[in-house]
Amino acid sequence: MCRWPLVDKDDLRDALALSPVAAWAAAADDGASVLNDAAYSVLFRQVGRQLQCGLSVVVDCPLARLSLYETAASLAAQVGGPACAPAASRRTACLC
C-alpha cells in the first residue's frame, strides 16, 4: 500500500471556491482563472513543504502549461529528487 501524500489541485480549487476568496475572484474578469491560479499556488506550496519534510508526493493536476511542469520539476530538484515524467494524459506528476 502506497502511503504518499496526494495533493490534488481540484480539491484545492473547490475549497477556495467555498472561501471568501471566491467573492474576490468573482469580481475579477476571469474568476475561474483566479481560483485556478490560487489553487496552483497553494498546491505547489504544499508540495514543497512535503518534499522539505523528506516525503515523496503524488501531485494530481492538469499540467496544462509547460510552466506548471517546470515548477514541479524545480521543486523536486531543490530537494535532490527526480521529477517523474507526466503521464500520457499529462494529468499527474509524481515527485519523489
Asked if 37 contacts 69 with a C-beta cutoff of 8 angstroms, the reply is no
pTM higher than the cut 0.95 = no
Q: What is the pLDDT of residues 41-83, one digit of tens each?
A: 999 999 999 988 888 888 888 878 888 888 888 888 888 877 6
Q: For the chain, which residues make up each domain, given as ranges?
A: 6-95
Distance CA 64, CA 28 (A): 22
